[in-house]
C-alpha cells in the first residue's frame, strides 16, 4: 500500500487564492489503489484570517509547524514577495536542511532565494520579475521564458498558471505519467507539459479566418502511432505548412514537431505504466518507431530507460489492459 505523501502549502499574506487552490485541486485528485495519494495542508505564519491579493480574507487554521511533517513544501506567490516574512524563511531553511522537496509558484521564488535555497541553482520566476530577482540574487542561474525548473529537490515555476504544470510534474515524478495525465483530464487542464516550454509572455496572434489548431491537435492525438508530417497536420488544419508552423507555436509555445514528440513520449510512458506490451509495440503504438528509439528519447527526456520506468511506475501484472486510450484501429495495429 502506498504511503500518503504530505504537502504543505505556505500562504504568506497577501496571498493568491488561485495559487492556493491549485495544489489542493490537483493533489486532491490523485488516487492510488483507491486511496488518496496526497494530504495537502495550507499553513501560514499567523493562523487565522489571511489577507489575499483580491482583497478578501481566508481562514487558515494551520501554522508553519505543518512544514516540519511535510514531504513537499510549496510556497505560494505573495504580494509581499520583496519582503518575505522571517518566519517563512526559517521554515524554508528547516525544510531545506531536512532534505525535503521545496517548490515555489510565481513570486514565491524570491523567498526561496532569500532563504538561500537557490544559491548556485538554476531557477525561474514570473517573467516580469526575472530582472529584479537577478539583481537581488546574482548567484542564481535564472532561466528565461520557461514554465518551471527543477534543480535537485528545489523547483520553481513562472506565473500563476505554470503552477499547474509544476504540480502535475510533481505528481508525474511520484506516480508516473498515467496518473498525472488522468489528474489533468479530471481537472480539465492541459496534459503534462515540459518545463522547458516557453512562457506565454507575448500576446498570441489572433486566429486568422477563425483558424485554431485545437481540433488538429486532438486529431493528431488519435493518430500518434502514424508517421505524421507537417504536411499531414497542415492538410488537416486547412492551412499552409508555413502558417501551421507559425500559428501552432503561437498557440502552444512549441513547434508542431516538438509538440508531437512530447505527446509521443507521454503516450509511451502511459503504455509502459498501464500495459504489459513489449517495448517494440510500445514504441510503435506511441509513434516512436523502434525500441531503440524509445529508449533513446526516454533517456534524453527523463534520464531513465523504458524498463526502469515500467519497474518504477507500473501497477499491472502480466495480462493487464492491452492499449488503453488508443483508437480501435491503433490498438489493432499494436497487437
**In the structure grid, which three cell numbers stand for residue 177, read together?**
505519467
Does residue 195 carry a pLDDT above 70?
A: no
Between 85 and 324, where is the model more confident?
85
Enumerate residues 6+ apart whose C-beta is below 8 A from 212: 251
The pLDDT assigned to 254 comes to: 83
Residue bearing cell 488538429: 216
Phi, psi of 238 (to 5 degrees): 75, 35
The pLDDT assigned to 191 comes to: 62
Phi, psi of 31 (to 5 degrees): -125, 130
331 and 323 in contact (C-beta within 8 Å)?
A: yes
Is the C-alpha dihedral spanning 288, 290, 296, 302 positive or negative?
Answer: positive
The pLDDT assigned to 127 comes to: 86
Does residue 101 carry a pLDDT above 80?
A: yes
Burial 129-158 (b: 16+ CB within 10 A, else e): bbeebeeebeebebbebbbbbbbeebbbbb
The pLDDT assigned to 210 comes to: 41
Does residue 315 carry a pLDDT above 80?
A: no
Instruction: Give percent of the chain with pLDDT exceeding 90.
Output: 61
Confidence of residue 74 (pLDDT cuts 50, 70, 90): very high
**In the structure grid, which three cell numbers stand for residue 169, read together?**
510534474
CB atoms inside a 10 Å sphere around CB 2: 12
The pLDDT assigned to 335 comes to: 35
Does residue 104 carry a pLDDT above 60?
A: yes
Q: Which of 135, 53, 136, 45 is nearest to 92 (CA)?
A: 45
Return d(Cα 244, Cα 233) in angstroms, integer.
8
Between 191 and 52, where is the model more confident?
52
3-state secondary structure the chain: CCCCEEEEEECCCCECHHHHHHHHHHHCCCEECCEECEEEEEECCCCEEEEECCCCEEEECECHHHHHHCCEEEECCECCCCCCCHHHHHHHHHHHHCCCEEEECCCHHHHHHHCCCCCCCEECCCHHHHHHHHHHCCCCEECCCCCEEEECCEEEECCCCHHHHHHHHHHHHHHCHHHHHHHHHHCCCCCCCCCCCCCCCCCCCCCHHHCCCHHHHHHHHCCCCCCCCHHHHHHHHCCCHHHHHHHHHHHHCCCHHHHHHHHHHHHHHHHHHHCCCCHHHHHHHCCCCCHHHHHHHHHHHHCCCHHHHHHHHCCCCCCCCCCCCCCHHHHHHHC
Please compute, for residue 233, the number of CA atoms within 13 A of its CA located in the half-sphere on the CB side: 27
Confidence of residue 131 (pLDDT cuts 50, 70, 90): very high
Between 106 and 319, where is the model more confident?
106
Does residue 12 carry a pLDDT above 70?
A: yes
Between 189 and 92, where is the model more confident?
92
Does residue 204 carry a pLDDT above 50?
A: no
Mean of the per-residue pLDDT values for the chain? 85
Amino acid at each position: 500500500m502506498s504511503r500518503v505523501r504530505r504537502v504543505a502549502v505556505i500562504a504568506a499574506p497577501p496571498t493568491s487564492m488561485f495559487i492556493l487552490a491549485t495544489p489542493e485541486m490537483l493533489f486532491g485528485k490523485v488516487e492510488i489503489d483507491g486511496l488518496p495519494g496526497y494530504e495537502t495542508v495550507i499553513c501560514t505564519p499567523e493562523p487565522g484570517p489571511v489577507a489575499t491579493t483580491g482583497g478578501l480574507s481566508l481562514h487558515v487554521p494551520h501554522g508553519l509547524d505543518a512544514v516540519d511533517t511535510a514531504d513537499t513544501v510549496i510556497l505560494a506567490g505573495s504580494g509581499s514577495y520583496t519582503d518575505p516574512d522571517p518566519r517563512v524563511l526559517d521554515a524554508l531553511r528547516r525544510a531545506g536542511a531536512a532534505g525535503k522537496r521545496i517548490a515555489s509558484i510565481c513570486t514565491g521564488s524570491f523567498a526561496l532565494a532569500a532563504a538561500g535555497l537557490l544559491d548556485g541553482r538554476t531557477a525561474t520566476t514570473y517573467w516580469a520579475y526575472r530582472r529584479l530577482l537577478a539583481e537581488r540574487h546574482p548567484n542564481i542561474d535564472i532561466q528565461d521564458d520557461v514554465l518551471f525548473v527543477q534543480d535537485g529537490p528545489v523547483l520553481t515555476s513562472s506565473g500563476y498558471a505554470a503552477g499547474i504544470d509544476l504540480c502535475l510534474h510533481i505528481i508525474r515524478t511520484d506516480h508516473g505519467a498515467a496518473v498525472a495525465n488522468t489528474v489533468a483530464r479530471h481537472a480539465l487542464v492541459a496534459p503534462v507539459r515540459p518545463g522547458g516550454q516557453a512562457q506565454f509572455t507575448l500576446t498570441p496572434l489572433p486566429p486568422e479566418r477563425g483558424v485554431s489548431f485545437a481540433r488538429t491537435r486532438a486529431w493528431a492525438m488519435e493518430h500518434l502511432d502514424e508517421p505524421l508530417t507537417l504536411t499531414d497536420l497542415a492538410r488537416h488544419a486547412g492551412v499552409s505548412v508555413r502558417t501551421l508552423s507559425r500559428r501552432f507555436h503561437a498557440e502552444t509555445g512549441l513547434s508542431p514537431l516538438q509538440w508531437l514528440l512530447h505527446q509521443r513520449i507521454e503516450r509511451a510512458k502511459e503504455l509502459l505504466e498501464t500495459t504489459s506490451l513489449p517495448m517494440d509495440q510500445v514504441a510503435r503504438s506511441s509513434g516512436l518507431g523502434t525500441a531503440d528509439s524509445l529508449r533513446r528519447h526516454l533517456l534524453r527526456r527523463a534520464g531513465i530507460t523504458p524498463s526502469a520506468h515500467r519497474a518504477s511506475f507500473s501497477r499491472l501484472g502480466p495480462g493487464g489492459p492491452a492499449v488503453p486510450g488508443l483508437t480501435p484501429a491503433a490498438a489493432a495495429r499494436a497487437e
